[in-house]
Amino acid sequence: MRIITGQFKGRRFDIPRTFKARPTTDFAKENIFNVLTGYIDLEGARALDLFAGTGSISLELLSRGCSQVVSIEADRDHARFISQCVAKLGVSNHALIRGDVFRFLKNPSQPAFSFIFADPPYALPNLATIPDLVLQSGLLAPDGVFVFEHGKQNDFSDHPRYREHRAYGSVNFTLFT
């Protein structure tokens, strides 16, 4: 796993083979961040990474100059790995919450974020409910952007806050504002 651009461009982190999580591919990550430049300036933005997994997106956001990045990850080993990666970068503007994303969304205790990214397991039974849960939580700032990574079987184009869909191989992103 590598950081695509920004302050920590080119830094690599080896994901333990025992991990169940799959990081967003470099190709997909690079392309979705290119798309995002038309929506938001991440420099100085507050960002939230739901289902942080390997921390790939959180690390990218830190590298791109976000003022604060909050990662939510339930798995103990994944959370530990994210903490170790952040420590190697030597940054202090990252907060890791080890817990269930659905509980977090029901009782958010954070100010609004300019950018929210969610990459749940594609086989999650209630995956289709996540956009509404995020958008109704009050966590997205009025001018913010929410990117939802999902499998090809999901279509959110009828959602009132839908902006666009991008597919890169088997990786699909839907953007909401």
pLDDT of residue 25: 86
- How much is the pTM? 0.96
The per-residue pLDDT of the chain, averaged, comes to 95
pLDDT in tens, 3-41: 999 999 999 999 988 887 777 888 999 999 999 999 999
pLDDT of residue 155: 96
Residue 12 CB burial class (10 angstroms; 0-12, 13-18, ≥19): exposed
Query: Do the Cβ atoms of 146 and 134 come closer than 8 Å?
Result: yes
pLDDT of residue 91: 96
How would DSSP label each residue in 55-116? SHHHHHHHHTT-SEEEEEE--HHHHHHHHHHHHHHT-SSEEEEES-HHHHHHS--S--EEEE
CA-based nearest residue to 101, from 120, 116, 84: 120
How far is it, in rounded angstroms, from Cα 69 to Cα 67?
7
pLDDT of residue 21: 74
